[in-house]
């Protein structure tokens, strides 16, 4: 495992890095946001250990910046701030885990091993497809910059479609994931909500659309790929 440790407390950084190296892992250390940004763009890491409070900024902002740039390295935030609001904020900006100081080194290393097993798969905190943008944390959705008024289950259904864009989803799978396993109503309730979403997703050519797959279910199709300025090539 190769880790980037972003921590300005020299003593703590030394303890963590020595422990990881003793277990055979490679560790790079940064003490500022600027240094961390450089390391994260110049090398590939399995995990990133990120202190929240740093001399030139905070870990929340750096985590959001990395995710916006398409960097999906698993991130574990370290902080002395144990308020629920801080933990929620950290997870909402794209962090994968959160550990409050003081902590046991054995727990930190176990959490890092678990994160490394996940790999750097895309886990965006804000879902975007063409000109559709949905933020689960703020429960805001827009099409071409226009706010969409989504109520209750509509929001959850659109989020599910976006997380499984281009996948054909059966009504049963949608019911299991968006409603719950104990739902005993008519599965055709999905059709009602899909119709409502189609009305809300009125936009331009770059707006994804929900298509019916006859006899199966539905699929969210993203906008067509842009054609190069000089036209298609043979």
Q: Say yes or no: 6 and 113 in one domain.
A: yes
- Averaged confidence pLDDT in the chain: 86
Q: 82 and 100 in contact (C-beta within 8 Å)?
A: yes
Q: What is the pLDDT of residue 182?
A: 62
Q: Residue 32 above 90 pLDDT? A: yes
Q: How confident is the model at residue 136 (pLDDT cuts 50, 70, 90)?
A: confident
Residues 166 and 79 in one domain: no
Total domains in the chain come to 2
Give a yes or no: residue 77 inside a domain. Answer: yes
Q: Is residue 22 in a domain?
A: yes
**If we measure between CA atoms, which residue out of 197, 208, 227 comes closest to residue 130?**
208
pLDDT at 122 over 90: no
Average pLDDT (150-156) is 85
Which tens digits make up the pLDDT trace of 178-220?
876 567 778 889 999 999 999 998 877 888 899 999 989 999 9
Supply the range of the domain harboring residue 37.
Answer: 2-118
Task: Identify which has the larger pLDDT, 139 or 61.
Answer: 61
Write down the pTM of the prediction. 0.65
Same domain, 141 and 205: yes
Q: How confident is the model at residue 227 (pLDDT cuts 50, 70, 90)?
A: very low
CATH of the domain at 190: 1.10.10.10
CATH code at 113? 3.40.50.2300
217 lies in some domain: yes
Tokens, residue 44: 């590939």
Cα 229 off chain centre by: 32
Q: Is residue 230 part of a domain?
A: no
Q: Domain ends where: 118, 153, 168?
A: 118
Look at residues 95, 118, 141 and tell me which one is the last residue of a structural domain. 118
Tell me, yes or no, whether 84 and 184 share the same domain: no
pLDDT number for residue 115:
87
Per-residue confidence band for 36, with pLDDT thresholds at 50, 70 and 90: very high
pLDDT at 164 over 80: yes
Rounded CA gap, 5 and 152, in Å? Answer: 40
Residue 24 lies in a domain: yes
Q: Are residues 62 and 150 in the same domain?
A: no
108 — pLDDT class (breaks 50, 70, 90): very high
In a shared domain, residues 50 and 144: no
Per-residue pLDDT at 30:
95
* Count of Cβ atoms closer than 10 Å to residue 108 Cβ: 19
Q: Report the distance separating Cα 46 and Cα 207, nearest Å.
A: 35
Domain final position from 92, 118, 144: 118
Segments of the chain assigned E as strands: 2-6, 26-30, 47-51, 53-54, 57-58, 75-79, 97-100, 127-129, 132-135, 140-143, 146-147, 168-170, 209-213, 217-221
Q: Is residue 229 part of a domain?
A: no
Half-sphere exposure (Cβ direction) of 151: Cα atoms closer than 13 Å: 2
């Amino acid at each position: 495992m190769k880790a980037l440790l972003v921590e300005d407390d020299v003593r703590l950084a030394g303890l963590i890095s020595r422990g990881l190296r003793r277990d055979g892992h490679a560790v790079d250390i940064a003490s500022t946001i600027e240094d961390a940004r450089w390391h994260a763009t110049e090398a590939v890491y399995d995990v990133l250990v990120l202190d929240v409070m740093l001399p030139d900024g905070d870990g929340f902002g750096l985590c959001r910046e990395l995710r916006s740039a398409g960097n999906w390295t698993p991130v574990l935030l370290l902080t002395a701030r144990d308020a629920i609001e801080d933990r929620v904020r950290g997870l909402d900006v794209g962090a994968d885990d959160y550990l409050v100081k003081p902590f046991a080194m054995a727990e930190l290393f176990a959490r890092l091993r678990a994160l490394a097993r996940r790999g750097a798969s895309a886990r965006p905190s804000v879902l975007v497809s063409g000109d559709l943008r949905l933020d689960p944390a703020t429960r805001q959705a827009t099409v071409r910059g226009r706010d969409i008024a989504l109520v209750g289950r509509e929001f959850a259904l659109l989020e599910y479609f976006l997380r499984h864009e281009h996948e054909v989803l059966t009504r049963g799978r949608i019911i299991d994931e968006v409603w719950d396993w104990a739902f005993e109503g008519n599965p055709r309730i999905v059709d009602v909500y899909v119709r409502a979403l189609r009305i809300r997703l009125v936009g331009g050519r770059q707006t994804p659309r929900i298509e019916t797959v006859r006899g199966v279910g539905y699929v969210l199709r993203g906008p067509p790929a842009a054609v190069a300025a000089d036209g298609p090539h043979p």
